[in-house]
Amino acid sequence: MAELKTPQELGTDRIGKLLIRYAIPAMIAMLASSLYNIVDRAFIGHGVGSMALSGLAVTFPLMNLSAALGSMVGVGSGTMISLKLGQKDYDSAQMLLGNSVTLNILIGVIFGILSLVFINPILTLFGATEVTIGYAREYMVIILAGNAFTHLYLGINCILRAAGHPNKAMVATIGTVLLNTFLDYLFIMVFHWGIKGAAIATVISQVLAFAWQCYQLSDKSELIHLKKGTYRLHGNLVRNMLTIGLSPCLMNVAACFVVLLINRGLLKYGSDVAIGAYSIINSIGFMIVMMVMGFNQAMQPIAGYNYGARQMNRVLKVLYLTMFFGTCVTTLGFAIAEFMPGACIRIFTNDAELTAIARNGMQINFLIFPLVGSQMVIGNFFQSIGMPGKSILMSLSRQLLLLIPFLIILPRHYGINGIWYSMPASDILSVILGFSLLIPQVRKLKKLS
Amino acid sequence: MDKHYCICIGRKFCSGGRNVAALVADKLGVRMYDRDLLKKASQNTGFSEKFFDEADEEKTRKGLRSLFMGHLGSNGLANNYLSNESIFNMQSEAIRHIHEQEDCVFIGRCSDYVLRDSDRLLNVFIAATADDRVARVCRHAGEGMTPSKALSLIEDIDRKRASYYNYFTGRTWGDPANYDICLNSTVLGYEKCADMIVALAKERLGI
């Protein structure tokens, strides 16, 4: 893609050096997006209260669903635009940009309106109770009102990356996190607007980020810029964008379904507080996972290029090195969760009951984490050597296929601990699956080299 | 004006487009590039042939498989040198490179789109009647091929070519508006088709 103009270095430079150089920007972007969650939850936990944290947690499946639709357009248009730029077909790229803006507005507004109309049944389905629904609704109404901007901001960020401006996309991401943090502080701690303040902060920072992106894309000397006459939808462009974006979208929808199952299980076998506890654990887990994803993103071009060039020893080297780094990151997460869970939880809350539940959940949830790092790397490795089938099987297994049966069965026997134990249980099976897919593949690669 | 001319020939599956292209190349004394030659030409990218083969015009996924894994190999979130998109780009580079070096005839591979900015380009589309194409498939495939199987094979491959072309170019495959001349090889025969293309090429491309 546009940002990688010198593939030769991928075939010759030292693997370790390449991996680190590609990983740093990816990690920064990943960390920034996971910090967003942590900051929001921390301000709400401390500034509003532990019930508000649970109220926020039941909105996440809905937010995920919205993000899934946003990523569908973003990924689709990003891929198509980088293809057109590669062909120097600037008119089509321009048209795609315009079309994606229209599509984002359409989907964002329709999703926003539908969810607003059915807000109560939706939140109840996702695990809201009489105690938490007030918070959830207060937060979500504002977020949904700004939903089109969320889609636009995320979508254009994908396009900026695809159009060879990964740095601008990163500035937008980091800028949004910083702005959101500042506004969260202002609205929650100073103005005491409660959970509403967090929602307003989110919407304002995304609107401003979108305005900045528009400014960047209005420069007429740029290869692609926002232009009159490109906004009318074209059937075949829309179809192409949506087909490409469909698979990442489905993955996100699946993730949303799992959160729904977990939330409902926690409510059934625990309480509202347990849902809040899960959102704390989830934030920390998400940050660790995102850091591994950063390494994965860096591995992709290196492994892919060398695989294509038949340099199997380099392919294996980058695989092992990424697995090593991935394991280091998840082991660090494991150590923090097992030996100093209190310190993590204090970021979000001082509530004694919430802390106790979160501490227990966290210690169980992270049990297998040292092994999860390599599982994630293996899944991504298959994708980078052009085997998306195995890659999808890997990510679906850990987060969906193996997890759901445990989530249904274990709580019946062990109550709330059953839910916490489902996660390490599915982790361990998916690690076994990962290695049993990887080992024959490595043998094959060794034979080829 | 470009130094070299190029004739791009699109064709329905088993419409004799390749035979016509070979005759044209022969009459003009230039080389014809189809899948094999292009694959070789793409090799200065350092990639092995296998990937070009897998990403070629007739290899798109369909149905449920494409829903779940269609484009995940190239999901835009990460760079992937083995994605169909990047292989298409390498192939396009090869087409442009050949066009700069010599006069030639290209078969398929969206070459008409890739070279759209050239001013010495003739775009041709070859079709044939369904009966004729079925007969050709049966003749080439030998035993075990029935006319109904042949027909579904033809439909399948045409659909794949169309989706490949439409995806990468944003145009519609086989739409007469994309081509300078569309010929029916059943009606005209290969020789006559080739003669017409050569005559038009001489007139239009300043040969």
pLDDT tens across A236-275, in order?
A: 889 888 887 887 788 788 888 999 999 999 999 999 999 9
pLDDT at B54: 64
pTM metric for this prediction: 0.83
Cα separation, A367 vs A129, whole angstroms: 30
pLDDT at B17: 93
Of B48, B51, B80, the CB nearest to A300: B80
Look at A87 and B85 and tell me if their CB atoms are within 8 Å: no
Look at B70 and A247 and tell me if their CB atoms are within 8 Å: yes
B81, B83, B173, best to mutate vs chain A, most A CBs in 10 Å: B81
Q: Cβ-count burial of B142 within 10 angstroms (0-12 exposed, 13-18 middle, 19+ buried)?
A: exposed
- Scanning every residue of chain B, which has its alpha carbon at the shortest distance from the alpha carbon of A308? B47
Task: Give DSSP secondary structure letters for A99-148.
Answer: HHHHHHHHHHHHHHHHHHHTHHHHHHHTT--TTTHHHHHHHHHHHHHTHH
Cα separation, B35 vs A94, whole angstroms: 31
Q: Phi and psi for B2 in degrees, rounded to 5?
A: -65, 150
A359-373 residue pLDDT tens: 999 999 999 999 999
Instruction: Write b or e for each residue in A238-257: b if 16 or more Cβ atoms lie within 10 A of its Cβ, otherwise e.
Output: bebbbbbbbbbbbbbebbbb
Q: Which residue has the tokens 């990356």?
A: A161
Look at A247 and B67 and tell me if their CB atoms are within 8 Å: yes
The token duo for A120 is: 């109560």
Min distance A242 CA to chain B CA atoms (Å): 11
A398-418 residue pLDDT tens: 888 999 999 999 999 999 999
pLDDT at B31: 94
- Set of chain B residues whose Cβ sits within 8 Å of the Cβ of A300: 78-80
Overall average pLDDT of the A313-341 stretch: 96
HEC profile of chain B: CCCCCEEEEEECCCCCHHHHHHHHHHHHCCEEECHHHHHHHHHHHCCCHHHHHHCCCCCCCCHHHHHHHCCHHHCCCCCCCCCHHHHHHHHHHHHHHHHHHCCEEEECCCHHHHCCCCCCEEEEEEECCHHHHHHHHHHHHCCCCCHHHHHHHHHHHHHHHHHHHHHHHCCCCCCHHHCCEEEEHHHHCHHHHHHHHHHHHHHHHCC
- Set of chain A residues whose Cβ sits within 8 Å of the Cβ of B90: none
Look at A75 and B80 and tell me if their CB atoms are within 8 Å: no
User: Under DSSP, is residue A270 helix (H, G, I), strand (E, B) or coil?
Assistant: coil
- Set of chain B residues whose Cβ sits within 8 Å of the Cβ of A3: 79
Look at B82 and A248 and tell me if their CB atoms are within 8 Å: no
Min distance A163 CA to chain B CA atoms (Å): 11
Strand partners, B121: B6
Cα separation, A433 vs B3, whole angstroms: 57
- Set of chain B residues whose Cβ sits within 8 Å of the Cβ of A76: 76
User: Under DSSP, is residue A7 helix (H, G, I), strand (E, B) or coil?
Assistant: coil
pLDDT of residue A126 exceeding 70, the answer is yes
pLDDT at B60: 52
- Set of chain B residues whose Cβ sits within 8 Å of the Cβ of A237: 170
pLDDT at A223: 80
Of A248, A296, A305, the CB nearest to B81: A305
The token duo for A107 is: 């989907």
Q: Cβ-count burial of A90 within 10 angstroms (0-12 exposed, 13-18 middle, 19+ buried)?
A: middle
Min distance B57 CA to chain A CA atoms (Å): 16
Of B48, B67, B92, the CB nearest to A246: B67
- Scanning every residue of chain B, which has its alpha carbon at the shortest distance from the alpha carbon of A388? B73
Q: Provide the 8-state DSSP code for A48.
A: T
Give every residue of chain B whose pLDDT is below 50, as ranges.
Answer: 62-79
pLDDT of residue A7 exceeding 50, the answer is yes
- Set of chain B residues whose Cβ sits within 8 Å of the Cβ of A84: 170
pLDDT at B51: 66
Cα separation, B21 vs B54, whole angstroms: 24
Q: Which residues of B have a CB under 8 Å from any CB of A?
A: 46-48, 51, 54, 66-83, 85-86, 88-89, 92, 113-114, 166-168, 170, 172
pLDDT at A54: 95
The token duo for B133 is: 């194409």
Cα separation, A65 vs B10, whole angstroms: 43
Q: Which residue has the tokens 């091929």?
A: B145
pLDDT of residue A6 exceeding 50, the answer is no
Dihedral, CA atoms, B165, B171, B172, B176, nearest 10 degrees? -120
Min distance A244 CA to chain B CA atoms (Å): 5
pLDDT at A252: 82
Look at B48 and A308 and tell me if their CB atoms are within 8 Å: yes
Helix (H) or strand (E) holding A161: helix A147-162
What mean pLDDT, rounded, does chain A reach?
A: 91
Q: pLDDT band at residue A221, thresholds of 50, 70 and 90?
A: confident
Cα separation, A69 vs A344, whole angstroms: 32
Which range, of A406-410, A424-428, A431-435, B71-75, averages the lowest pLDDT? B71-75
Cα separation, A353 vs B130, whole angstroms: 75
Complex ipTM above 0.85? no
Of B47, B85, B166, the CB nearest to A79: B85
- Scanning every residue of chain B, which has its alpha carbon at the shortest distance from the alpha carbon of A72? B75
A14-73 residue pLDDT tens: 999 989 988 888 888 888 888 888 999 999 999 999 999 999 999 999 988 998 898 889
Look at B75 and A247 and tell me if their CB atoms are within 8 Å: yes
Min distance B94 CA to chain A CA atoms (Å): 12
pLDDT at A152: 95
Cα separation, A431 vs A315, whole angstroms: 21
Q: In what order do the strands lie in the sheet with B104-107?
A: B31-33, B104-107, B6-11, B121-127, B181-184
The token duo for A261 is: 């199952």
The dihedral of CA B199, B200, B204, B207: what is its sign?
Answer: negative
pLDDT at A162: 82
User: Under DSSP, is residue A299 helix (H, G, I), strand (E, B) or coil?
Assistant: helix
A21, A95, A97, A247, best to mutate vs chain B, most B CBs in 10 Å: A247
Cβ contacts of A352 within 8 Å, gap of 6 or more: none
Of A3, A237, A388, the CB nearest to B72: A388
Cα separation, A273 vs A53, whole angstroms: 8
